[in-house]
Structure 1
Amino acid sequence: MTATGIVGEFLALKEETDADILAMQCGDFYEFFADDAELVAKELDLKVSQKSSHGSSYPMAGVPLDDLTPYLKALVERGYRVAVADQYETESGHAREIRRLVTPGTLLETTDADAQYLAALVRDAEGFGLAFADVTTGRFLVTEVADAADAHAELYRFAPAEVLPGPDLRGDDDFLASLRDGTDASLSLHEAEAFAPGRARRRVREQFGEEALESVGLDSERAVRAAGAVLAYVDETGAGVLQSMTRLQAYHARDHLELDATTQRNLELTETMQGRRDGSLLDTLDHTVTSPGGRLLREWLTRPRRDPDELERRQACVSALASEALAREQVRDVLDGAYDLERLASRSASGSAGARELLSVRDTLAVLPALVDAIDGSRLVDSPLRDVVEAPDRDAATALHDELDDALAEDPPKTVTRGGLFQRGYDAELDDLIERHEAAERWLDELGPREKREHGIQHLQVDRNKTDGYYIQVGKSNADRVPDHYRQIKTLKNSKRYVTEELEEKEREVLRLEEVRGDLEYELFEELRDRVAERAELLQDVGRALAEVDTLSSLATHAAGNDWVRPELNEGDALEIEAGRHPVVEQTTDFVPNDLRLDRDRGFLVVTGPNMSGKSTYMRQAALISLLAQVGSFVPARSATVGVVDGIYTRVGALDELAQGRSTFMVEMQELSNILHSATEDSLVILDEVGRGTATYDGISIAWAATEYLHNEVRAKTLFATHYHELTSLADHLPRVENVHVAADERDGDVTFLRTVVDGPTDRSYGIHVADLAGVPRPVVDRATDVLDRLRDEKAIEAKGGDGGGEPVQAVFDLGSGQFSGESGSSDADESSGPSGDEGTAVVAATNGRADASQLDAETEAVLDELRSTDVTETSPVELMAKVQQWQETLHDE
C-alpha cells in the first residue's frame, strides 16, 4: 500500500471512532499520522518525520509494536482516549481494524497497585444508582443512595478513573461541576441507549446469570441501569475482560460505616489534606507485602463495616497474628512470593497475558498450600485465619497449578508467537516438531567444524542474521581454500560470506519448522490461556484470600510494633478510651495520651483550650479509633470500648471554593447542614470551630443553636471544639453536655501547652501567644496584649490613631451616661470622660473625630435606652445575641 494509502486508511479509521488519538499498526510499528502525530510527539517527546506522496506531506510518529504499552498508559493517564487498530492478514495483503478503545477506566496496562474503577451513575426521582467495575481485577459492585451528597461520598470513596453519567445527569451543570471538583475522574458520555432499563437488565443477566439480580437482592432499576451501562461500555471499548467479571456484588448503606467525602478528607484516610499519601492513615498502617493486600487495606479503611460478627472475626485474626511473632513473619515470608491473581485473571481473559504471566499464576497458586502449612504448623491454626485460607477451592487451585507446571517452560520468551513456551511431553505433535527442529539446528551447529576439517579452512564460522539468513563466513586469508560449490553473497573488510545449496535447503527447513512450531505453540498457548481465563473466579477467590491474610498481617504487624490494643466492640452507646493516641501523629512526636468518655448520659463534649494545644488532634483521634475498631483493627490506646456507629461526620476547617461561588463560610455551613441532616443518634460527630467564618454574634448564635439541635434532636455522640467560651455555659442547661479543656500552664508570662485533656471549661485561648510563636512582629504582639488586658479589666479599648496631621484621636462611649467624648493631641483619654473601669463602658475608635454626643439622633437614642433597660442577668444568651444583632443593624443603617 502506498504512503498515501496508509494515511488514507488511517484517516478513514479515525473517522470511525470518537477517540482522541488513533494508533495504527503498520508492520512492526504502531504509527500516528497527521494531527495525531503532532499531538503524540508533543505529549511523549517522540520524533516527528514526514511522509510524502503525490505532492502531499503528512507528519508521522511511531513506536515499536512491543513498546506500545508504556506510551498508551502515558496518553490515557493524561486524559486521552486512544483507539488501537491492529493489522491482520488478508488474501490481498494487509488490512487494519480498530480492536480496542483505551480509556482511563478501561486501561489494563496499569502498574498502579490501587484499584482502577470505571463508574456509572444514574439518577431518578427516588435517588441515585451507582455501579463500579475494576477492569484490572474483575470486581463489580452496585449500590443505590438517596441523595447527591451520598453519591459524591461513594465516588470519593472509590476514586474512579472514569465516570459515565446517565442521560438524566448530563444537563445538570452543578452536579457535574461538583463531580469534577470532588474527584479526578474523566467524564465520558456513553450512548444513552446503554442506560435504558430493559437493555441494561438484559446485559446484567447475560453477564451474571438469570438469577443474579434476585440472589443479591438488587431490585433497584437505577442501580441495574448503571450496571448495564458499565457492562456495555466495557464490551464496546474492546477491553475483553467481561469473562473476568464473574460476580455481581450489591452493597447497601447499612453494611458499611457512613463516611462522606468531607470526613474522608478531614480524617486523611488515604491522603493528607495536601494530597499526599505520605502521612495518611493508609500510609501509616500499610505493611503489606503484596499489591492486592495494599489494595484491600485501602478498601477496608474507606469502607469500615457495621457487622459486629465480621469485625470480631477480623479482630480475632489480628489478635492471633499479633501474639505469634514467628508465625506472623513466616506467613508474611510465604505471601511475599504471591503475584496479583485478580489482575492476572483479567489479563488472561483479555488475551494479553503472556507465558510469564501464566507462570506467575502457577507460582501464586502454590502459595495457598504453603500458607495453609504455615498456619497449621503454628498456634494460628485455632484462629479464624484458617477459615480464610480454606475458603477457596484448594483442589481446583492445585489442579490448575499442576496443569501450568506441566505445560510451561521455566524461562519462556516474552513473545508468545516464536516458540519456546512449552516443556517436552506436553503435546506429542509439538514434541515431534521440536525434535526435528533441534535436529536441524544440530546439523547447523556441526556444519562449521565439519567444513573446517573437510577443506582445511581455519578462519570459518557458520552464522545467521536477518539480512543474509544462514551463511558461511571465511576470513580473506583463507579465501583461496574455498571450494567451488560455495557461492559468495557478500564481501566484508576482512572476510567473505558464502552459501551452499545444502545450507540453503537446511535453512528453508529450519525456517519452516520454526514457523510451524511457533504457530502450534501459539495455538496451544491460547488454549491454555483460555482455560486459565475460564477459572477467573477461582483465581479471584484465591487472590482475595491471600490479600485478606496480607491485610490482617499488616494490621497485626502495626499493632504489635506500636503497642496497640484490641478494642471491646458493642452495639451500645459508649465510646470509652483510656490513654488514647492519634495513630499517625504518634509516629512523629512524643505523644501525650488522653482519656475520653462518651455515652448516652455524657454524649456531647464542648472542648475548649488554647490554640495549637491539641484540641483537633484529640477529636480526630477519637474518630480514628472508632473507625479503626470498625475496620477490625487494634487501636492506639491502653484500653478502648467502642460502640458501633453508623457514621462518622466531621467539620474540621474549610477552604474557599470561589470557583464554585462558595466562600469559606458557605462551605462551612454546607458541611454543617449535611451533618445536621445526615447524622443519627448512632453516629459520631466531630465539630471543630463552627461559626468562625462570620461575625462574632452570628457565629455564636449558629454554634449555640447547632449544639442545641445536635443535643436535643439528633442526639449523636459529639465532640465540639470551640473558642466561643460562651458555649461552655450550655453544660449548666443541657443534661448531656459536659465541658473538657486542654490544659495550659502560664507562669511569668510564659505559656506551656500540657496537651492533657481535663474536665471543665477554660476561658482563655492564648491566641496572642500563638501569634508570637508564629513570628508576628513584636510591636503587634505587645499592643495586642495591652488591648486584651484593657478589654478584660475595663471592657474598653483605647484607640490609637491620627487625624491626618499626626495628632492621636480617641473617642469613648460610656454606656452608663450614653455620652460620647473625644480628645485630640493626647494618647490618653480625659479622666472625666475616658474609661472609668466600670463594666458599662465601651470605647468606639474614631480616626477623624467625627463622633460626639451632639450627633446622636433619635434612632441611636432609642437603641441606648433599650440597652440601658436590658437586664443581662435575666436575658438568655440567645435572646441577648439577637438583641445585640438587632441593635447593630439599626446603628449600621443610621
Structure 2
Amino acid sequence: MATGIVGEFLDLKAETDADVLAMQCGDFYEFFADDAELVADELDLTVSQKSSHGSSYPMAGVPLSELTPYVKALVERGYRVAVADQYETDAGDHAREITRVVTPGTLLETSDDDARYLAAVVREGDGGGRGTDDGRADSGCDHGPYGLALADVTTGRFLVTELDDASDLRAELYRFDPAEVLPGPGLRNDDDLLAAVREDLSGSVSVFDAEAFAPGRARHAVSEQFGDEAADSVGIDSEPAIRAAGAVLAYVEETGAGVLASITRLTAYGDGDHVDVDATTQRNLELTETMRGDADGTLFETVDHTVTAAGGRRLREWLTRPRRDRDALERRLDAVEALASAALARDRVREVLGDAADLERLAARTTSGSAGARELLSVRDTLALVPALADAVAETTLADSPVAAVLDGVDRERTSALREELADALAEDPPQTKTQGGLLRKGYDDELDELIERHEAVTEWLDTLAEREKREHGLSHVTVDRNKTDGYYIQVGKSVADRVPEGYREIKTLKNSKRFVTDELEEREREVLRLEEARGELEYELFEALRERVAADAELLQDVGRAIAEIDALASLATHAAGNDWTRPTLTDERRLDVEAGRHPVVERTTDFVPNDLELDAERGFLIVTGPNMSGKSTYMRQAALIQLLAQAGSFVPARAAEVGLVDGIYTRVGALDELAQGRSTFMVEMQELSNILHSATADSLVILDEVGRGTATYDGISIAWAATEYLHNEVRARTLFATHYHELTTLADHLPRVENVHVAVDERDGEVTFLRTVRDGPTNRSYGVHVADLAGVPDPVVSRAAEVLDRLRAEKAIEARGGSRDGADSAGHGSRDGNADGEGGDTKQVVFDLSSGSFAAADERSRPAGAGATGRSSADGSTADGSADGGTATAGVDPETAAVIEELSSVDVAETTPVELLSRVQEWQERLDR
C-alpha cells in the first residue's frame, strides 16, 4: 500500500467522486497513478515514475501557475477535476486538502463566449430526496410537472421555471444546452430523459446528493441566497422548481466555485410571456445550429453583428426565446428602428462597445477570488465607457429612443465611484502574479508607500554599486546581478580579478570572469528580500481587500454588463436590417400573418432570391402548399416561420412589408433522420412530432408541416395527412402551412372553409422545365419527380424508363414489368431470373397498378370492378375513375375482409376522432389488409 506523497494522493482521491485529482506539491500540481496516465493521454504531458516503498507509480505534473488551462481542457472534455491545495500545519508540516471540484457546469475559466449553464431537473412526486435505494421515485410518477433551475456560474445568472411535461423540458434543455445536468432522485433511472439529454445536448449528467433536492433543505438554500420572500415575490410557488433551485445552489457551494456572491437575482421565467419553440422547431429552423451541427448558416450567425461576448449571448437568447409581450416588443423595435436610421450614431455606439470587457463574467471572477489585477483593470476601463456610451446616445437622435432608457437602469454615481477607486488603486501595467508586488499605485496606502520607498532606496544602491566599484577601485568589466543560486553578486573580468579590494570574497569562477560578494552586499540583499516579502504580503492584502470591494458591487457590474449586452444586441439587429433591406413588422393582436415580398433571412445571403407574398388570416388560415421537389416549398414555409420568430424577437424582417399577429407557439415538422440508435424509425419520429403538434398547438399558434405520412404506405400516409388536416382545421384552428405531395389533399379546399391551395409555379416549354420559385394561388397541376431525378444525375436509362412508366400510369395502361436487361442479362450480368438469356428483355410481364389495393397485379389475372377503367382508380372524393360513386362499385370484386375495412373507413367521423385513436385504427386496418 502506498504511503508518503503517493499515499496522500490516493487517500484524497478516495474522498472525492471526481475523475481526476490535481494535488499541490510545492511549486507544482502533481497527478499520480491512473490519473497521471489519463492526463498524459488527454493533454500530452510527460509521464515519469515516482517510487513509494518498493512500488513505482506513474507521475505527471504542471507548474503551479499553469494549472488553470490544463483543468479547463480536461473539464471541457467532460471530466470532473478535484484540486487539492497545500497548507502549513501548526506543527510546521505540509498537508493538503481538496479545495475545489471543477465540473463542466462550474467551470469559470472558459474562453467560450456562449453562456455555460448548470441545470437541475426535478419531477413532482419523485420523493424529494427520499427515493428508493436504486434512485427511482417512491410515487412511480412518470410525467410532469418538472422543476428546472439553470445557473451560469460565469455570469451569476440564475433562472427557475416549472414545465408541464417532458416535451417542454426537452425544449428548454435544448435551448439552454447546459454543460452539466443534475437529475433529481426520481429521474436518475429515467432512460427516456437521460437519452434525450445525451441525444440533444453536448453536456454531461452528474449524480448529486439526493438530500440536496429535499423540499425543506432546498427552500432554505433559496432563502439563504436570495432572501426569505424572494421566491414568492417573483412568483415561484412550485415545489419542483424550488427543489431544483436549491440543488443547484448546493452543488455550486459544494464544488467550491466561490461564485454564490455573484448569484444575486432569482429570475422566474416561462410565465406565459414567451413563445413556445420546442426542440424540434429550434433544430428545424436552424436557429443556432444547422441540421449538420454547424454554426455557419444559422439564423443567429446571419444576424449576429455584436461586438461583445455579452451582446452575442443576449441576441442568441432573443432568437431562441421570442416574446409575446407586445409593448416590450414595440419598445425593442423602436430601439432597432432608431439605431437603423441613425448610421453615424450607431457606428459610434458600436465603436465604444467594442472596447467593453465581459462585466457579467468579471463579476463572477471577483466574487470567486480568481480575478487578478489585470481583470480589475478591465472592470475599471469598461466602467469608464458608461459616460462615453451615454454621450454617444445623448448627442444624437437616439436620445429620444428606448436606447437611452437602457442606460437609465445603470446607477451612474456608483459606477463612477467604483471606477475612480480602481483608477486610484491599480498600477497601469501590473504583473500577472498577485504576490510579487507592482499591483498598486503609489499614494494608495501610506504603509505600502513607505515600504516601496525603502525598497527603491536599497535597489538604487544596488543598481549603482557597479559604477561605484569601478570608480573607487579602478576596476573595469564590473557588473552587479542576481540569480536564484548565487543571490546578489559582483562579477569582475578575469583580467582584473586580482585587483579586487580585500573585502571581496570569491564565490564562483567562470570562463572569463569571477563572482564575488561582500558583507555589505549580503546585508543589502537580506534587506531587499525582507522588504520584498513585506511589500508582497501587504500589497496582496490590500489587493484582496480591493477585490472584495469590487465583489460587493457584483450586482452593479451585472447591471452595467446587461445594459451593454442589450445595446449591443439592438445595434446588431439594426446593422443587419440597414444593410439587408429589412423592414419593421407591424405587430397586431389579430390572427394573421400577412407578408409582402418575403424572403428567407439565411438563404437570401447566398442566392438570387425570389421574394413571395404570404397571407394567413381568420378566413384563410390553412394553406396547402404543392409543387415539385426542389422548387422552394420548404424555403417558403421556413421563411414564414422565421419572419414570425424574428418579429417576436423584436427584429426587423426580410420583407417589403409584414403584418404579424403574435403567436403563442411555433411548431414545425419538416422531415426526420432515422434515429435507429434510439429505436425510432423515420416514420415513428414523424408521428411523434405530429402528435406533439396536435397536442400542443392552439388557435394562436403557427404550424409548419413539410410532408406528413410519407414514411409509410401510400394509403396510410394519405389517411393520416387527411385526418391531421381536418383536425388542425376544425379543432386546433392554428395558422398552418402544409406542404404535401398528396394531391388528393388539395380537394379539401373545396370542403373546408379556411383551407386554400397555393403552389410553386413551374414553366414548362418544349419539354424543358424551369422552377420559377414563385408561389401562386391554387394547386399544382402535377408533380415533376422524374425531372428532379434527372437534375440529380440519376442514370438516363432509369429516368427514361420512369418517364415511360409514368406516362402509362397516367393513361391507365398496362405496364411491362421487365425481369432482365435488354441484352438478355440481368442487372448483374448473370442472365435472366429463370437462367435464360432469351433475347429481348428477359422475363417480361404485363402488370397494372391498382390504387384500390395499393399494388401491382398481372394484367391478365386482375379482376376489375364492373364499369371501372383500366385501374379502377379512386379519386380523393371517393369516386372511381369512371365517375361512379363510392358504394356502387367501389367494393365489387373485392374479398369480404377488404370490403369490411373499406366500409369501416367510410363510416369514420374524422372530426370526432382523436389523432391517436385514428392512428391506431389505421394501423389495425393495415394489419387486416396485410392478412
Give the TM-score normalised by the residue count of structure 1. 0.93
1:560 is aligned to 578
The answer to whether the aligner puts 1:708 opposite 2:726 as a matched pair is: yes
Change (3 A) 1:380 1:868: closer
Does the 8 Å CA contact 1:796/1:835 hold for their aligned counterparts?
no
**Match in the other structure for 2:300:** 282
Conserved? CA contact 2:716–2:922, under 8 Å: no
1:262 and 1:650 in contact (8 A); partners too: yes
Gaps of 5+ in 2: 126-143, 821-832, 874-890, 911-917
What letter corresponds to residue 122 of structure 1 in structure 2?
A: V
The answer on 1:406 being equivalent to 2:405 is no
1:462 equivalent in alignment to 2:465: no
Task: Give the whole-Å Cα distance in 2 for the aligned partners of 1:259 and 1:413.
Answer: 48
Deviation at 1:69, TM superposition (A): 1.2
Partner of 2:106: 106
Mark the CA change 1:428 to 1:787 in structure 2 (over 3 Å): closer, same or farther. same
Which AA in structure 2 matches 1:60? M
1:412-433 per-residue CA deviation (whole Å, 9 max, x = no partner) reads 0000111101111100000000
Question: Are 2:816 and 2:844, in contact at CA under 8 Å, matched by a contact in 1?
Answer: no
- The residue that corresponds to 1:30 in the other structure is 29
Show the counterpart of 1:77: 76
Local SS of the residue matching 1:140: strand
Instruction: Find the partner of 1:439 among 450, 457, 467.
Output: 457
Letter in 2 for 1:755: R
Partner SS state of residue 254, structure 1: coil
Contact kept in structure 2, 1:797 and 1:842, CA below 8 Å: no
- The match for 2:870 is 841
- Please, what is the CA RMSD of the aligned residues? 2.8
Q: Distance in 1 between matches of 2:758 and 2:743?
A: 12
Letter of the 2:93 partner, please give it: G
Check conservation: 2:338, 2:398, Cα contact below 8 A: yes
Q: Distance in 2 between matches of 1:320 and 1:286?
A: 18
| 3-state SS of paired residue (1:493) | coil
Residue 862 (structure 1) shift? 4.9
SS at match of 2:87: strand
SS in 2 for 1:247: coil
Residues 55-112 of structure 1 deviation map (CA, whole Å, 9 limit, x = unaligned): 2211110011111111111111111100001112234232211100000000001000
What CA distance in whole angstroms lies between the structure 1 residues aligned with 2:813 and 2:603?
Answer: 40
Counterpart of 1:6 in structure 2 is: 5
Could you report, residue by residue, the CA deviation over 1:751-784 in whole angstroms, capped at 9, with x for unpaired residues? 1000000000013221111111111111000000
Moved more, 183-192 or 113-122: 183-192
CA separation of 1:464 and 1:139: change in aligned 2, threshold 3 A: same
Aligned length: 867
How far residue 867 of structure 1 moved from its aligned partner, in angstroms, is 9.5
Aligned residue identity for 1:221: E
Residue 861 of structure 1, CA deviation:
8.4
Counterpart of 1:59?
58
1:885 CA displacement: 9.9
1:242 equivalent among 260, 264, 267 = 260
- Quick one: which of 782, 786, 789 aligns to 1:771? 789
Distance in 2, matches of 1:312 and 1:658, equals 45
1:616 has 2:651 as partner? no
Q: 1:107 & 1:34 partners in 2: Cα distance?
A: 25
Identify the residue that residue 93 of structure 1 maps to in structure 2.
93
**Residues 821, 834 of structure 1: 8 Å contact kept:** no
Q: How high is the sequence identity, in percent, across the aligned residues?
A: 73
| Conserved 8 A contact 2:850-2:857 | no
1:798 and 1:47, CA in 2 relative to 1: closer, same or farther beyond 3 A? same
Structure 1: stretches of 5+ with no match in the other structure: 824-828, 845-859
Partners of 1:885 and 1:259 lie apart in 2 by: 30
Amino acid in the other structure paired with 1:402: E
**1:383 to 2:401 alignment:** yes
Q: Distance in 1 between matches of 2:525 and 2:62?
A: 31
Moved more, 327-336 or 794-803: 794-803
Shift of 1:48: 0.2
| Residue 833 of structure 1: how far off its partner (Å) | 11
After superposition, give the CA deviation of every residue in 1:457-505 in whole Å (9 maximum; x if it has no partner): 1111000111111100011111111112111111111111110000000
Of the three residues 140, 163, 167, the one matched with 2:158 is: 140
- How many Å apart are 1:4 and its aligned residue? 4.8
Q: 2:505 aligns with which of 487, 490, 498?
A: 487
Secondary structure of the residue aligned to 2:10 is helix
Residue identity in the other structure for 2:353: L
Deviates more, 1:355-364 or 1:125-134: 125-134
AA aligned opposite 2:548:
D
Deviation of 1:675 (Å): 0.3
Q: Secondary structure at the match of 2:753?
A: coil
Q: Map 1:517-666 onto structure 2 (within 5 A).
A: 517-666=535-684
Q: Which has the higher mean CA deviation after the structures are superposed, 767-776 or 99-108?
A: 767-776
Distance 2:928 2:117 in 1: 57
Q: Contact 2:863/2:893 (CA < 8 Å) preserved in 1?
A: no
Give distance in 2, aligned partners of 1:506 and 1:751: 94
User: 1:813 & 1:100 partners in 2: Cα distance?
Assistant: 75
User: One-letter code of the match for 1:205?
Assistant: S
Report the Cα distance in structure 2 between the residues aligned to 1:721 and 1:361, rounded to whole angstroms. 53
For the residues of structure 2 that align with 1:722 and 1:371, how far apart are their CA atoms? Answer: 52
Report the secondary structure of 2:187's partner residue: coil
The 1:187–1:867 alpha-carbon spacing in structure 2 relative to 1, beyond 3 Å, is: closer
- Distance in 2 separating the partners of 1:383 and 1:685: 35
SS in 2 for 1:754: strand
CA distance in 2 between partners of 1:65 and 1:304 (Å): 46
Residues 715-762 of structure 1 deviation map (CA, whole Å, 9 limit, x = unaligned) = 000000000010000000000000000001111221100000000001
Do the aligned residues in 1 keep the contact of 2:311 with 2:566 (CA within 8 Å)?
yes
Q: How does 1:31-430 map to 2 (within 5 A)?
A: 31-91=30-90, 92-125=92-125, 127-430=145-448
Q: Post-superposition shift, 1:866?
A: 10
What secondary structure, in the 3-state scheme, does the structure 1 residue paired with 2:62 have? strand
CA contact (8 A) 2:147 2:244 kept: yes
- Contact persistence 2:670–2:706 (CA under 8 A): yes
1:514 offset after TM fit, Å? 0.3
The answer (yes or no) to whether the contact 1:269–1:281 under 8 Å persists in 2 is yes
Maintained 8 Å contact 1:338/1:367: yes
How far is the alpha carbon of 1:875 from its aligned partner?
7.5
Mean alpha-carbon deviation: is it higher for 631-640 or for 789-798?
A: 789-798
Q: Distance in 1 between matches of 2:603 and 2:204?
A: 34
Are 2:894 and 1:863 aligned? yes
| Aligned-pair CA distance for 1:892 | 4.4
Q: Whole-Å Cα distance in 2 between the matches of residues 150 and 85 of structure 1? A: 40
**How far has the Cα of 1:687 moved from its partner?**
0.2
For residues 289-326 of structure 1, what are the alpha-carbon distances to aligned partners after superposition, in whole Å with 9 as ceiling and x for unaligned? 00000011111111111100110010000000000000
Q: What amino acid is aligned across from residue 778 of structure 1 in structure 2?
A: D
What is the CA deviation profile of residues 591-628 of structure 1, one whole-angstrom value per residue up to 9, with x for unaligned ones?
A: 00000000111100000001000100000000000000
The 3-state SS of whatever aligns with 1:255 is coil
1:745-894 to 2 correspondence within 5 Å? Answer: 745-801=763-819, 804=834, 805-806=836-837, 807-812=842-847, 840-842=869-871, 862-863=893-894, 892-893=930-931
Which amino acid is 1:47 matched to?
T
Letter paired with 1:683:
S
Structure 2 distance, partners of 1:740, 1:338, is 50
**What is the CA–CA distance in structure 2 between the aligned matches of 1:658 and 1:405, rounded to whole Å?**
61
C-alpha distance in 2 between matches for 1:99 and 1:595: 62
Q: Is the 8 A contact 1:137 1:346 kept in 2?
A: yes
Structure 1 residue 839, shift from structure 2 partner: 6.2
* C-alpha deviation, 1:797, in angstroms: 2.7
Residue 21 of structure 1 corresponds to 20
After superposition, the Cα gap between the structure-2 partners of 1:875 and 1:143, relative to the gap in structure 1 and judged at 3 Å, is closer
Q: Distance in 1 between matches of 2:710 and 2:511?
A: 87
Q: Is the 8 A contact 2:898 2:929 kept in 1?
A: no
Matches of 2:267 and 2:687, distance apart in 1: 36
Superposition deviation, residue 167 in structure 1: 0.4
Letter in 1 for 2:502: D
